[in-house]
Amino acid sequence: MRLGRPQPRPAPQVAPQPAARQALHCTGPLRWRSLAHTYETDILRLRLDAPGLDTREQWHSLLYAVLEGAADGLEISRADIDGVVHSGADGRSGLVLFDTVPGGAGSVLRIAGALDTVIATAVRRVASCDCGLETSCYGCLRTPRNERHHEDLSRGAALTVLTSLNGLASWAEPPGA
């Protein structure tokens, strides 16, 4: 590496701006877009077949129940873990949990090793909440970070799936699968 006085950067090329009148008359379709960036972290993929797991609402309800169960049951900060509903190459849906800390903090690895505790805690949480079974609240499934799914989340749906799960050890795919 050569050290020396920093050189002034060339002035950025400025693209010509569209006329203001054009910008005011957008007629294209509106679509949700998620902004994202890439980073490496630990992930845990969970695949399961259980009664009551067909719709997006049911999958999201299960996802956030599992995350809350992991946070409560294993004393992991909820901000350190998150997850998505993901379709595999075979078209089957599943859950992917991940550490939000770049590089991974080992949280999802702990979840993989203690799924029974995670599920038991999730069942207790969704079974004991005061909100209606057909909905959810910040005491069971909702957080500020899953706000876009709030209308989908039903603690009754989560409870149905969680209580039907058996053989939890077979959920988790081994790392690298």
Judged by the rule CB under 5 A, the positions of this chain that interact with Zn ion are: 129, 131, 137, 139-140
Cβ closest to Zn ion, residue 81 vs residue 129:
129
CB atoms under 10 Å from CB of 175, counted, come to 11
Contact yes or no for 128/143 (Cβ under 8 A): no
3-state helix, strand, coil in the chain (%, to 5): 40, 10, 50
Q: How far is the CB of 45 from Zn ion (least distance, A)?
A: 27
Cβ closest to Zn ion, residue 39 vs residue 138:
138
The token duo for 164 is 């039907």
CA-nearest of 40, 48, 41 to 173 is 48
Q: How far is the CB of 37 from Zn ion (least distance, A)?
A: 32
Cβ closest to Zn ion, residue 139 vs residue 156:
139
Q: How far is the CB of 135 from Zn ion (least distance, A)?
A: 7
Q: If you compute the radius of gyration of the chain from its CA atoms, what whole number of angstroms results? A: 22
Burial class (CB in 10 A: 0-12, 13-18, 19+), 46: buried
Cβ closest to Zn ion, residue 137 vs residue 168:
137
